[in-house]
């Protein structure tokens, strides 16, 4: 039996290599996509709260 844990990428659901330096993501691309999504949400929330009371 194997001791390996099958980690899957939260973004694309591919199997992540156990020694991947982008864990828990499969690649640099998936890691930055997830970060950008998160960053964009933060930015748009702040932007919306700052506007609209004119
Ligand atoms: Zn991925």
Question: 16 CA distance to ligand 1 centroid (A)?
Answer: 8
Residue 7 CB-density burial (10 A; 0-12 exposed, 13-18 middle, 19+ buried): middle
Does residue 12 have a cis bond before it (omega within 30 degrees)? no
Question: 48 CA distance to ligand 1 centroid (A)?
Answer: 30
The model's pTM is: 0.55
Instruction: Please state the residue numbers annotated as binding site.
Output: 9, 12, 26, 30
Does residue 24 have a cis bond before it (omega within 30 degrees)? yes
Question: 52 CA distance to ligand 1 centroid (A)?
Answer: 37
Measure the N-to-C terminal CA separation of the chain; round to a whole number of Å.
Answer: 65
The model's pLDDT over 2-44, given as tens digits with 9 standing for 90+, comes to 566 689 999 899 999 888 999 999 999 999 987 787 788 776 6
Domain boundaries, the chain: 27-54
């Amino acid at each position: 039996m194997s001791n390996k844990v099958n980690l899957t990428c939260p973004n694309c659901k591919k199997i992540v290599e156990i020694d991947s330096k982008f864990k828990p993501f499969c690649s640099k691309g998936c890691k930055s996509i997830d970060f950008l999504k998160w960053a964009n949400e933060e930015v748009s929330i702040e932007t919306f709260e700052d506007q609209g009371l004119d």
